[in-house]
Amino acid sequence: MTGTTRINGSETPLLEASKLTKIFGTLKACDEINLTIGTGEIHSLLGENGAGKSTLVKMLFGALQPTSGDIAWKGQSVTVSNPAMGRSLGIGMVFQHFSLFDALTAAENIALSLDEKTPLDTIAARAKEIGQTYGLPVDPEALVGDLSVGERQRIEIIRCLLQNPDLIILDEPTSVLTPQEADLLFVTLERLRSEGKSILYISHRLEEVRRLCDRATVLRHGKVVGQCDPRAETTASLARMMVGSDIHIIDRHPVEASAPAQAALIEVKGLSQKPRGPFSVSLHDIHLAVRSGEILGIAGVAGNGQGELFEAISGEVLQERPDIIRIRGTDAGRIGISARRKLGAAFVPEERLGHGAVPDMSLTNNLLLSRHSTDRKVFLTGGTLKLVAEASLASAAKRIVTQMDVRKSAENPDASALSGGNLQKFLIGRELDRNPSVMIVNQPTWGVDAGAAAHIRQALVDLARSGSAVIVISQDLDELFEISDRIAAMVHGRLSESVPIEAMSRERVGLMMGGVDHSTALANAGAA
Amino acid sequence: MTMFEAILLTIATAATPLLIAALGELVVERSGVLNLGVEGMMVMGAVAGFAVAQTTGSAWLGMVAAILAGAAFSLLFGFLTLTLVTNQVATGLALTLLGLGASAMIGESFVGLPGVKMASLYIPGFSDSPYVGKFLFGQDPIFYISILLTIGVVWFLFKTRAGLTLRAVGDNHTSAHSLGVPVVRIRYLAVLFGGACAGLAGGQLSLVYVPQWVENMTAGRGWIALALVVFASWRPWRILAGAYLFGAVSIGQLHAQALGIGIPSQFMSSLPYLATIVVLVLISRNKRLTLMNTPTSLGKPFVPDR
């Protein structure tokens, strides 16, 4: 490991944390962490989920108090007792789990984090202005509850920038952005750096870190395991440092030349849908078909109808005619989620807490909720009494936890006690455990670290290769290129024709996501 | 004074305590606290107001005492639920029971004594104008306070920064905390305001509506106020509408009973409750608006992780 590359030997660093330790009960989330951030540098904090990154930055920002250790800000020892104090020092934070208020508008959300003298009626205009300057367009009057994850993150970033901080902490900022949006963000960040601001950048995307960051501090199990100049490293060497071993490469052996006459396991024919709320997207004449053994990747910028498409296929929103959605040859447009599950379909929505899982319920209860009707014989006993079979639930949960390598702190914790990545592994495992013949996943690896993401992707590929049809909706193009057999793009509620992966390039999918590529009649002919 | 005007005035007097208590509870609930002790705080206000006015001879002093009594009682609720983090539902229910019992004890020696009625406004010329003169310019001060309070609460909640912060705390106290908003302090202030309003509403009952003290004289009005808040989807103007609707139907059914309409009186007496709930349910059918206005962390205890 290379030692600390001091910025300018004599200069006092902007922030210097020494021997920061945070203990939760018996868990040492952060163990004597030393971190130095210089003025005008983009410093990357690398580490897997649960490595202690979030705990560390929360202490720097004042949202958590360290058990021991010191923080020096501009050379002065400080106690950041609360986030308001962090902000007044000049530390801004963009959270991974957004600290937004659903029932308030974008402008009101922004107003809440500004100092009290700012008049409320000017905030909308300023937010719009900052949004335009930094390529983060938002509608200030929109209710946050109606916005997509990507749009919410823009509000978080704008909210932080409006405070004009010296140090900006960004937690996974690009995970919901398109490549183009991410490029714009990098321009913004580089501009901020040239203005003398410092940025603490947390990301799982090592390419980005190599491209953007001046220095990196790598955490593993709550300890600093190394510091380096990411520009001098390779993605593989960074990953190795993070994980402690080599990262698994997805094995996507090609689909065996199956009989072309094979029928599709999931079909959507002419799905059109009016918007269900003032900020939801309408769907226009969507056609898709996925055969056994195939993964269809659906690319697109957040808020182009992916969520609505997911809801239509999963049965959260019913269709006018039953034949609009066919699962394993059965018309399913008018039947609900459980009935579709019984046909062999499985669904993993984008939002983990509150949609995929009930936050305040244990893992076994969450397991029961999604599978009590499909696996009644396994999880319910007592005939018509339908008693919960705790023992078989517990063993199924254990099986899933082992299979997907879910890391948890208690025997049967509440869903909300798991980190995002581990909960996602559990939710995907919950569905895979049923051996579904049709699986649709929205944003399978959003905010999930590299090791866990590789695990999830491999599991999806293996499921497809074992004969299931899989649809993956994702904003992560790397992911789609890694696992898909065909890729289609969603834009303004329309789904493009799908293009085989061999004929696909990043430029082309970028154009399709922008709604440019109408031309080819390639794929749907093959799929129909 | 015409019959029409008389009915209008009785409706306003019946609606005012509901409006004031419900507005107070609205602010409390918007901050994410569910205080089911409205009835208890109201009845404490009523007895304190009556006792002080009877002793000093001043209805205004009585009203101040009513407000202080309601606020003091709510402070007890705040201490239990916000500082000791007890269950809000159970604590609120206990507060109501305690209030009913304590007020009966305090008020025992005041039963049957003549009360002090708060004087109504009189502006020569204006108050005598036909039909609505007395309604607009000749009512008791609490009526005007209740209307100003409605406007004030709307302005506070939707136009001021403090109101925005309060709504934010009610929507997501964890996020608010992470932004450095003093969640517990804001909730204390909201609870105190709610208590003061409930006390004022109680004072209106014993110093304006019926200037005397009767045990349990709130007669469930605190519960109606609570229901109004929910069915009005946490919006002040709807509370105003709901309170007056309730007042109108309860006065209307009295007149109808006096006219001897052949409908069982029990049904007639339940009509105000029924009508208010039906109307408010009908107007709160817009799911999105309801979701947008429902304080998401309502009733959830807040313990900052440190």
Give the span between the Cα atoms of A328 and A261, in whole angstroms: 14
Query: Average pLDDT in the B64-68 region?
Result: 97
Whether the per-residue pLDDT at A260 is higher than 80: the answer is: no
A278: nearest CA partner in chain B: B288
Give the span between the Cα atoms of A410 and A417, in whole angstroms: 9
Contacts of B179 in chain A (CB under 8 A): 83-84, 99, 112-113
Per-residue pLDDT tens over the stretch A87-116 = 889 998 887 666 788 888 888 888 887 777
Q: What is the pLDDT of residue A258?
A: 52
Higher per-residue pLDDT: A469 or A174: A469
Residues of A with CB under 8 A from a CB of B: 62-65, 82-87, 95, 98-104, 108, 111-113, 116, 120, 143, 145, 277-278
Higher per-residue pLDDT: A260 or A481: A481
Whether the per-residue pLDDT at A523 is higher than 70: the answer is: no
Whether the per-residue pLDDT at A443 is higher than 60: the answer is: yes
Q: Looking up tokens 């082992």, which residue turns up?
A: A402
Residue A83 is nearest to which of B164, B179, B291, comparing CB atoms? B179
Domain range list for chain B: 3-220
Q: Do A108 and B174 touch (CB under 8 A)?
A: no
Q: What is the pLDDT of residue A521?
A: 38
Q: Do A277 and B180 touch (CB under 8 A)?
A: no
Q: Do A112 and B179 touch (CB under 8 A)?
A: yes
Domain range list for chain A: 15-90+165-243, 264-344+436-527
Whether the per-residue pLDDT at A53 is higher than 90: the answer is: no
Residue B306 is nearest to which of A65, A86, A277, comparing CB atoms? A65
In chain B, what is the straight-line distance between the N-terminal and C-terminal CA atoms, in Å? 65
Average pLDDT, chain A: 83
Query: Average pLDDT in the A279-293 region?
Result: 88
Query: Average pLDDT in the B87-113 region?
Result: 94
Model confidence at A522, pLDDT cuts 50, 70, 90, reads very low
The domain made up of A264-344+436-527 has a fold known as Rossmann fold (3.40.50)
Q: Do B171 and A99 touch (CB under 8 A)?
A: no
CB pairs under 8 A between A and B: 65
Q: What is the pLDDT of residue A274?
A: 86
Per-residue pLDDT tens over the stretch A291-337 = 999 999 999 877 788 989 999 999 999 999 999 999 999 999 999 99
Per-residue pLDDT tens over the stretch B178-213 = 777 899 999 999 999 999 999 999 999 999 998 999
**Which of A44-48, A213-217, B183-187 is least confident?**
A44-48
Contacts of B159 in chain A (CB under 8 A): 120
Query: Average pLDDT in the A394-420 region?
Result: 87
Q: What is the pLDDT of residue A525?
A: 38
Q: Do A103 and B294 touch (CB under 8 A)?
A: yes
Q: Do B180 and A120 touch (CB under 8 A)?
A: no
Higher per-residue pLDDT: A74 or A2: A74
Residue A84 is nearest to which of B167, B180, B296, comparing CB atoms? B180
Query: Average pLDDT in the B147-153 region?
Result: 97
Q: What is the pLDDT of residue B179?
A: 79
Whether the per-residue pLDDT at A149 is higher than 70: the answer is: no
Q: What is the pLDDT of residue B251?
A: 87
Whether the per-residue pLDDT at B97 is higher than 90: the answer is: yes
Query: Average pLDDT in the A347-364 region?
Result: 89
Q: Do B179 and A95 touch (CB under 8 A)?
A: no
Residue A99 is nearest to which of B160, B178, B288, comparing CB atoms? B178
Share of chain B above pLDDT 70, in %: 98
Chain A nearest C-alpha distance from B175 (Å): 4
In chain A, what is the straight-line distance between the N-terminal and C-terminal CA atoms, in Å? 55
Residue A489: exposed, middle, or buried by beta-carbon count in 10 A (0-12, 13-18, 19+)?
buried
User: ipTM for the complex?
Assistant: 0.80
Query: Average pLDDT in the A460-471 region?
Result: 92
Same topology between domain A15-90+165-243 and domain A264-344+436-527: yes
Query: Average pLDDT in the A13-35 region?
Result: 88
Q: Has domain A15-90+165-243 been given CATH number 3.40.50.300?
A: yes
Query: Average pLDDT in the A214-243 region?
Result: 86
Query: Average pLDDT in the A264-278 region?
Result: 86
